[in-house]
Amino acid sequence: SPPATQASTAQSQALFSRAQRVTPGGVNSPVRAFKSVGGSPRFIREAHGAYLTDADGHRLLDYIGSWGPMILGHDHPAVREAVADALSRGTSYGAPGEGEVRLAETVTRLTGVERVRFVNSGTEATMSALRLARGATARKFIVKFRGNYHGHADGLLVEAGSGLMTNAEGHLGRAAPSSAGVPEEYAALTLVSEYNDPVALDALMAERGHEVAAVIFEPVVGNAGVLIPTPNFLAALHRVREHGTLLIADEVMTGFRLSLRGATGLLGLTPDLICWGKIIGGGLPVGAYGGRADVMNYVSPQGPVYQAGTLSGNPLAMAAGLATLQVLENEPALYVKLESYTAQLAGGLSAAAREAGVPLSVNRVGSMLTAFHQDAPDGSIRTYTDAARSDTAAFARWFQQMLAGGVYWAPSQFESIFVSAAHGEAELSRTLDVARAAYLHLGR
Ligand code: PMP
Judge if 132 and 253 occupy the same domain. yes
Examine residue 125 and state whether it is found in any structural domain, yes or no: yes
Longest CA–CA span in the chain (Å) reads: 64
DSSP string, 154-211: GGG-EE-STT-B--TTS---BPEESSTTS-HHHHTTEEEE-TT-HHHHHHHHHHHGGG
Judge if 262 and 349 occupy the same domain. no
Specify the pLDDT at position 276: 98
> Which stretches of the chain score pLDDT less than 50?
1-4, 160-173
Q: CA distances (Å), 420 to each of 2, 59, 91, 309, 366, in order?
A: 21, 16, 28, 30, 11
CA quadruple 117, 120, 122, 128: dihedral sign: negative
Examine residue 324 and state whether it is found in any structural domain, yes or no: yes
Range of the structural domain that residue 55 is part of: 10-75+332-443
Specify the pLDDT at position 77: 98
Judge if 316 and 268 occupy the same domain. yes
Specify the pLDDT at position 131: 98
Examine residue 2 and state whether it is found in any structural domain, yes or no: no
* CATH assignment of the domain containing 371: 3.90.1150.10
Judge if 104 and 50 occupy the same domain. no
Which of 266, 298, 330 is the last residue before a domain boundary? 330
Judge if 63 and 88 occupy the same domain. no
pTM of the shown model: 0.95
Q: Among 38, 37, 59, 31, which residue's Cα sits nearest to residue 47?
A: 59
CB of 290 sitting under 6 A from ligand 1: no
Residue nearest to atom 13 of ligand 1 (CA): 122
Contact predicate 188/201, CB 8 Å: no
Examine residue 3 and state whether it is found in any structural domain, yes or no: no
In the reported structure, the alpha carbon of residue 323 is separated from the centroid of ligand 1 by a whole-number distance in angstroms of 21
> Reduced to 3 states, what is the DSSP secondary structure of residue 342?
helix
**For residue 195, what are the contacts with CB-CB under 8 A and spacing of at least 6?**
145, 146, 147, 148, 217, 218, 221, 224, 227, 229, 233, 382, 383, 384
| Catalytic annotation present for 433 | no
Q: CA distances (Å), 324 to each of 41, 74, 75, 77, 415, in order?
A: 28, 11, 11, 10, 23
Judge if 119 and 245 occupy the same domain. yes
Which of 308, 330, 352 is the last residue before a domain boundary? 330
Please pick, among 62, 144, 272, 278, the residue that the annotation labels catalytic.
Answer: 278
CB of 409 sitting under 6 A from ligand 1: no
Judge if 281 and 338 occupy the same domain. no
Judge if 104 and 53 occupy the same domain. no
Alpha-carbon distance 301 to 298, whole Å?
A: 8
Judge if 135 and 237 occupy the same domain. yes
* CATH assignment of the domain containing 166: 3.40.640.10
Residue nearest to atom 7 of ligand 1 (CA): 151
Contact predicate 414/406, CB 8 Å: no
Examine residue 93 and state whether it is found in any structural domain, yes or no: yes
Judge if 52 and 159 occupy the same domain. no
Specify the pLDDT at position 180: 85
Domain count across the chain: 2
Specify the pLDDT at position 179: 82
| Catalytic annotation present for 278 | yes
Alpha-carbon distance 160 to 217, whole Å?
A: 14
Examine residue 1 and state whether it is found in any structural domain, yes or no: no
Judge if 312 and 360 occupy the same domain. no
CB of 252 sitting under 6 A from ligand 1: yes
Judge if 278 and 361 occupy the same domain. no
CA quadruple 124, 130, 135, 141: dihedral sign: negative
Which of 303, 330, 357 is the last residue before a domain boundary? 330
Q: At what angle do helices 315-330 and 77-87 cross, to 10 degrees?
A: 150
In the reported structure, the alpha carbon of residue 351 is separated from the centroid of ligand 1 by a whole-number distance in angstroms of 32
In the reported structure, the alpha carbon of residue 158 is separated from the centroid of ligand 1 by a whole-number distance in angstroms of 15
Examine residue 5 and state whether it is found in any structural domain, yes or no: no
ipTM score here?
0.99
